[in-house]
Amino acid sequence: MRRIRRSLLAALVDLGLAATASAQIIPWSEPPALADKEKFPSRPRPRVGRRAAKVAPSEVALRLPFAVAPDESLVAAIVHAPSLPDTVVLATFDATVGAGSVRTGTSWAGQVTQHASSLAVAGTAADDNGWGATGLSLDATPFTYLNLTAQRDAGNVAPTLFLLFEDRTLRTKVYSLSTSLFAVGTLTTVQIPLDGWTINFGTGELTGWSIGGGSVGTVPFRLTFDELAFTTSAIPEPRTYAALLGLFAGLAVVWRRRAFALRRRQAD
């Protein structure tokens, strides 16, 4: 048995030596380093030259399939869009459409006279709101003042003038002012600030208005109305007019003195 084991072990040793002798040994070497572009490849980007910045927008819009060329008519409409007017005349109190009419059931019925550009309230008319208009759709939000041009006539006893506005939900807003603000026999423009607009009143859609004494009709009402208008411009106060007149007078004096001095130099 020992001889058999020795013979087998000798045979295995011979085989191992033979395999070792026939194997090819390859020496190990450092692999070549890769550049960053080879490690992280990326897609090629389109090259944009300097000329691309000088291309007109319309040309770029035609080149790109996803761009839409601008509508020149729409651009022109936006650029030349009309601005909101500074003044909107609500009534001229003449015989034209929109100037209003006598309110039925009031003391003004049959007691008003429409002239070419005014409305005279006389006769037995009393201090109720006897004139107005309905069916309107007016946005008064942009305006800051309400101008009323009128005059007091002989025989007026009503101390107060009332203006009532109504929105589309039948909510009302009332402005009042003393009739003494209007001169007797001479048209006077009185300006009412509209800072009293409230959030519970629809200034964006006025549907009606009325004017008069604001009472139940107990005292005579004698006024002549010429114009009612919304505006954004404030009327200068009398002292402002006086200051302007003084400025013009001072400029006239200076101009005369310079002209006189110039004539003397020429004469010399």
pLDDT in tens, 32-86: 665 555 555 555 555 544 544 454 544 444 444 444 454 555 444 444 444 556 8
pLDDT at site 58: 46
What is the percent of the chain with per-residue pLDDT over 90, rounded to a whole number?
Answer: 35
The answer to pTM > 0.75 is no
pLDDT at site 17: 43
pLDDT at site 113: 92
* Residue 168 to residue 147: CA distance in whole angstroms: 23
pLDDT at site 125: 97
Q: How many CB atoms lie within 10 A of CB 87?
A: 13
Nearest to 132 by CA among 216, 211, 223: 211
Q: Secondary structure of the chain: what % helix, strand, coil (to 5)? A: 30, 25, 45
pLDDT at site 13: 46
Do the beta carbons of residue 209 and residue 131 sit within 8 Å?
A: no
Q: What is the mean pLDDT of each run of 10 residues along the chain (268 residues)?
A: 57 48 52 57 54 47 45 46 70 79 94 91 96 90 92 96 92 92 96 76 87 93 95 68 55 70 74
| Domains assigned to the chain | 87-240 (2.60.120.430)
Tokens of 26: 């390859």
pLDDT at site 35: 58
